[in-house]
């Protein structure tokens, strides 16, 4: 079965927005390498780019504060209540702040609009997701459902989302993840209530695998997290490497909660790989010192993924990751949007998945607006419709005005184009390619666009 076919899919037709659905097939995954998009894609999710010398030659804007709600909005009743289950603890805690800021920014902008959602405000309740070593996420889901939310943003981790997806979708509450990339969600029987604004790792895996072989590696090792995210990405990276003419000589898994990784490192190095793909979260801070520092594997031959592409300037000695590369779904965050996020949380140093979180809220709010009600089934029935086929719009106020005029809309996300298929998957996306400099921070190198057509 195609990875883009849903088991017993039951996504309803939109309640008040009529669009046509184009069938999408995974067999026609098209990738086009391109330069970084002009305008909004001019800066990375990390610090300002530094000059990076690799290979044999190796040697401010004022932040715009999130809009304050006008007096009219301050007196409006809440018509849409949503929750978030995002990491403030656990192995992905570094992703929580930008994601939460993205949610809060979207809510602030919606509530600042003249009509809000169906004439009322959006309320958000934030809860922690933890990681798969705890049951924090399931407790958070229970709490949010008891408070009557119609939609939930989260989780960041695919493995964590699988711990509560049945709770949420079974209650006919919409779940939108800003960062889940496991291919397993495509065929999961969620009753049509699960969506994601980040693409499946069918796409990221292909981009990363092609990159590794293009860089000259013939024999590749992989060290990966043994969960829904890690196994799915490992499989797709392996497929891409082999399709490009390379060989995966060793692939070693570790479990969430492990603190020692010597056996995996030794097993991979024993096969003398030209490059190593590291599919991990916070475990990277333990693996890299042993792999590169103790064992002496070249740092510029290590490849990262969205789960561990982060700022390591405070964690590793200068130059440890110089010229290492990694991939991250989404367009390169622009300075204007980063400034808005900083207006919400001025402590942010990483902006990963902030845009996807913002878009998740916008899409739920627009779906409620399109359907004329804010319950879960109404939102679910209109999510696909507001993402495709109509007049393009990029702000809540603009899209809301179009809906009020009777027009169909196609919301263009801050994170890039978002067109949901019948499985709740984006049918097209950008995958950014980044490179580390001597300060162990990353900056944009290239971006590839992937679309699903059939």
pLDDT of amino acid 92: 92
Buried b (16+ CB within 10 A) or exposed e, 328-357: bbbbbbbeebbebbbbbbeebbbbbbbbbb
Question: Which of 48-57, 70-79, 214-223 has the weakest average pLDDT?
Answer: 48-57
From CA 411, how far away is CA 181, in angstroms rounded?
A: 21
Has residue 42 got a pLDDT over 70? Answer: no
Q: Which of 344 and 451 is assigned the larger pLDDT?
A: 344
From CA 330, how far away is CA 339, in angstroms rounded?
A: 18
Task: Count CB-CB contacts under 10 A for residue 8.
Answer: 9
Beta strand residue intervals within 6-120, DSSP E:
29-34, 78-86
User: To 5 degrees, how large is the angle CA 60–CA 355–CA 84?
Assistant: 125
Beta strand residue intervals within 129-173, DSSP E:
151-154
Q: What is the mean pLDDT of residues 338-364?
A: 97
Tens digit of each residue's pLDDT (9 = 90 or more) over 369-413: 999 999 999 999 999 999 999 999 999 999 999 999 999 999 999
Q: What is the mean pLDDT of residues 249-270?
A: 98
pTM of the prediction? 0.81
pLDDT of amino acid 446: 95
Q: How far apart are the first and last CA of the chain?
A: 15
pLDDT of amino acid 120: 96
Domains observed in the chain: 26-32+64-199+333-425 (3.40.50.2300), 202-329+431-452 (3.40.50.2300)
pLDDT of amino acid 73: 57
pLDDT of amino acid 384: 98
User: Omega before 155 cis (within 30°)?
Assistant: yes
Has residue 427 got a pLDDT over 50? Answer: yes
Q: Which of 331 and 215 is assigned the larger pLDDT?
A: 215
Has residue 187 got a pLDDT over 70? Answer: yes
Contact 136, 89 (CB under 8 A): yes
Mean pLDDT, the chain, whole residue set = 87
- CA 183, 229, 172, 112 dihedral sign is negative
Q: Which of 73 and 444 is assigned the larger pLDDT?
A: 444
pLDDT of amino acid 54: 75
Has residue 52 got a pLDDT over 70? Answer: no
Has residue 14 got a pLDDT over 60? Answer: no
C-alpha 371: how far from chain center: 26
Q: What is the mean pLDDT of residues 151-164?
A: 98
pLDDT of amino acid 272: 98
Has residue 136 got a pLDDT over 90? Answer: yes
Q: What is the mean pLDDT of residues 260-270?
A: 99
Q: What is the mean pLDDT of residues 347-358?
A: 95
Contact 412, 394 (CB under 8 A): yes
Has residue 4 got a pLDDT over 80? Answer: no
pLDDT of amino acid 264: 99
Tens digit of each residue's pLDDT (9 = 90 or more) over 110-125: 999 988 999 999 999 9
C-alpha to C-alpha distances, 102 to 111, 130, 303, 345, 361, nearest whole angstrom: 14, 19, 27, 10, 9
Q: What are phi and psi of 417, to 5 degrees?
A: -65, 135
pLDDT of amino acid 10: 42
């Amino acid at each position: 079965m195609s990875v883009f076919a849903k088991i017993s899919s039951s996504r309803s037709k939109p309640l008040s927005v009529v669009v046509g659905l184009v069938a999408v097939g995974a067999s026609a995954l098209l990738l086009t390498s391109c330069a970084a998009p002009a305008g909004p894609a001019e800066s990375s999710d990390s610090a300002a780019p530094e000059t990076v010398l690799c290979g044999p030659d190796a040697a401010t804007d004022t932040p715009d504060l999130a809009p304050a709600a006008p007096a009219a909005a301050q007196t409006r009743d809440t018509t849409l209540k949503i929750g978030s289950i995002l990491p403030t603890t656990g192995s992905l805690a570094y992703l929580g702040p930008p994601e939460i800021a993205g949610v809060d920014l979207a809510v602030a902008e919606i509530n600042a609009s003249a009509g809000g959602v169906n004439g009322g405000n959006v309320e958000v309740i934030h809860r922690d997701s933890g990681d798969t070593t705890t049951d924090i996420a399931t407790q958070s889901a229970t709490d949010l459902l008891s408070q009557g939310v119609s939609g939930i943003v989260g989780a960041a981790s695919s493995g964590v989302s699988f711990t509560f997806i049945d709770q949420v979708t079974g209650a006919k509450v919409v779940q939108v993840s800003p960062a889940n990339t496991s291919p397993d969600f495509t065929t999961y029987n969620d009753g049509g209530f699960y969506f994601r604004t980040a693409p499946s790792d069918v796409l990221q895996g292909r981009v990363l695998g092609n990159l590794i072989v293009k860089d000259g590696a013939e024999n590749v090792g992989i060290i990966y997290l043994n969960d829904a995210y890690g196994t799915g990405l490992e499989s797709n990276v392996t497929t891409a490497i082999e399709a490009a003419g390379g060989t995966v000589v060793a692939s070693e898994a570790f479990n969430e909660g492990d603190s020692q990784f010597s056996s995996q490192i030794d097993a991979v190095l024993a096969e003398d790989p030209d490059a190593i793909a590291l599919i991990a979260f916070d475990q990277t801070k333990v693996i890299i010192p042993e792999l590169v520092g103790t064992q002496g594997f070249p740092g510029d031959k290590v490849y990262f993924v969205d789960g561990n592409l982060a700022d390591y300037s405070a964690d590793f000695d200068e130059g440890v990751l110089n010229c290492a590369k990694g991939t991250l779904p989404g367009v390169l965050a622009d300075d204007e949007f980063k400034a808005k996020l900083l207006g919400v949380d001025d402590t942010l140093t990483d902006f990963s998945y902030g845009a996807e979180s913002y878009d998740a809220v916008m899409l739920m709010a627009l779906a409620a607006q399109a359907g004329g009600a804010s319950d879960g089934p109404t939102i679910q029935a209109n999510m696909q419709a507001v993402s495709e086929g109509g007049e393009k719009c990029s702000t809540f106020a603009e899209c809301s005005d179009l809906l009020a005029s009777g027009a169909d809309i196609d919301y263009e996300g801050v994170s890039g184009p978002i067109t949901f298929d019948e499985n709740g998957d984006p049918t097209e996306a950008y995958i950014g390619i980044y490179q580390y400099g001597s300060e162990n921070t990353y900056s944009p190198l290239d971006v590839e666009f992937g679309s699903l057509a059939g």
